[in-house]
Amino acid sequence: MYDSRLPIIRERLRAMGDFRRGTSDSLIYDATLQAAVRTFHQRHNLKNHGIVDAATRAAMNISTAKRVAQIRINLERMQWISHRLPADFLLVNIPEQRVRLFRNGRAVWRSRVIVGRPSRPTPEFRDQVESLEINPEWTVPPNILR
């Protein structure tokens, strides 16, 4: 594929550390650039298809100041959640859509987990687990059935 925006995309990926080799002025979407886009997708928890779609462009265009603000907010949140954690705990990483079980401070199990969406976000809390249901009975919601 040829596109006049590819040199800009290469430079943006180079500045973020995802694109490390090759020329930056080429108008061809080559395997090297695709690998860099995949690395970017993986780092930003995007669909890793190697395509520079609208979600990829939006993530690439987030300013440094906004990224720093996101990191500050997340560090504050993590400090609140992780304060005096016991040696054994269960952690649901909502953005990553993963759950991990820690025993003696080491991750011993992990799995994917279903989380909410912006219109119905997953609540964030810290509490003691009293029960856990694995593979609960589930019926297809009407919106999926339609």
Low-confidence residues of the chain: pLDDT under 50 = none
Q: What is the pLDDT of residues 2-42, one digit of tens each?
A: 899 999 999 999 989 999 876 678 899 999 999 999 999 99
Please state the φ and ψ torsions of residue 43, each to the nearest 5 degrees. Answer: -65, -30
pLDDT of residue 14: 92
Neighbours of 132 (CB within 10 A): 8
- Six token digits for residue 30: 């080559």
- Helix crossing, 31-43 with 6-15: angle to 10°? 50
Residues 6 or more apart whose CB falls under 8 angstroms from that of 26 comprise 6, 7, 10
3-class DSSP state of 75: helix
**127 within 8 A of 134, measured Cβ to Cβ:** no
**10 within 8 A of 33, measured Cβ to Cβ:** yes
pLDDT of residue 25: 82
Distances (CA, A) of 2 to 27, 75, 81: 5, 40, 47
